[in-house]
Amino acid sequence: MKNRFLFQYYLLIPILLFGFFGFSQVTTEIDTTRIRIGEQIQYQIIVDETENVRFPKLFLDDLKRIEVVESFKIDSLKNQLIKKYALTSFDSGRYVLPAQTVFIKDKMYLTDSVIIDVATVATDTIKQPMYNIKNIKKEPYTFADILIAYWWIIVLIIVIGIILYFVLKDKVIHYEKDKLPPFDRAMQRLKELDGKQLLEQDKVKMYYVELTDIVRTFIEREMNIPALESTTDELLETISDFNNSSNLNIPKETIGKLKILLQEADLVKFAKSKPVFNEIETHRGSAENIIDNLHPKIVDKIKEEDEQ
């Protein structure tokens, strides 16, 4: 009786295991169990059923020395479903691909475990030719790079154009002013001096500098005398000599006003003298009077020379 019970017990265990795990409906195929580092293994699980099948997310070794490269879509073939995986490893050694769990109609089935050998790739460094280190190659220029440079060139041209415009504009204006006759230019500058209101700003020295520059420039251009580079005494002496030698008959009063104007301007510029407002007005009138008196004398002299 006891022996019969034991026989039934041991017979029942494989029957229960077979019914629970069901190996007969799940098989595996692998194209190779020996690879070199980086090579791939084609591993597939085949199920003899087409409905209510759940394939596993592969359970690999804990250290992840075997990796899944790609998990392919499930293929259907007759009465079978086939799930393929591409595996690889980058560590040499012997590894076990554990049994995988597949559920068919909510029943669990286990695949066989597989032993995989991964070998290193032998490298013969003696036979490998040695090469010099190559220089870093620059990336080729693209259309976008050229377009950016093109816009920078346009911006640069515009900036240069603006600068040239203002520079040349001032030169053109200056040239056009210089084209005026000396008398007209001097009268224009006197009006511009009045408009600057330097006296109202208490810039007396600057006022006298510009006032005498107007007179000196007129004399230099009209009489061809280096008035701008001469001192007051040198200029007065030169005008007197020029007047005597050329018979201009410049009135002594005009030369006297010029002397007073230039000497007073020297005191303002170099001795920090500060004339009162009435004196400044007198000097302003003297400057215009000097120019008015010198102009017709010189014009008449030029006419006489032309007639001769």
pLDDT digits (tens, 9 = 90+) for 227-277: 889 999 999 998 888 878 776 778 889 889 999 999 999 999 898 888 998
What is the spatial distance between Cα 119 and Cα 116, in angstroms, rounded to a whole number? 10
**For each of the chain's 308 residues, which pLDDT tens digit applies?**
444 444 344 444 443 444 444 445 888 899 999 999 989 999 999 998 888 888 888 878 777 788 888 989 988 888 889 999 999 998 888 988 888 889 988 888 988 888 989 998 766 556 666 677 777 777 776 777 777 877 888 888 899 888 887 776 655 555 455 678 999 999 999 999 999 999 899 999 999 999 999 999 999 998 888 888 999 999 999 888 887 877 677 888 988 999 999 999 999 989 888 899 899 999 999 999 999 888 876 655 555 555 55
146, two tokens: 């050229």
- Spatial contact of 82 and 101, defined as CB atoms under 8 Å apart: no
* Strands (E) located in the chain: 26-30, 34-36, 40-47, 53-54, 66-71, 75-77, 80-89, 93-97, 101-104, 107-110, 114-119
pTM of the model: 0.43
pLDDT digits (tens, 9 = 90+) for 7-19: 344 444 443 444 4
**Which of 71, 105, 77, 83 is closest to 28 using CA atoms?**
83
- Spatial contact of 197 and 280, defined as CB atoms under 8 Å apart: no
Mapping DSSP to helix (H, G, I), strand (E, B) and coil, where does residue 49 land?
A: coil
CA torsion angle for 229, 232, 235, 237 (degrees, to 10)?
-150
Amino acid at 196: K
Q: Which residue has the tokens 């346009």?
A: 154
Q: Which residue has the tokens 């010189």?
A: 298
- Spatial contact of 103 and 55, defined as CB atoms under 8 Å apart: no
CATH number of 2-119: 2.60.40.10
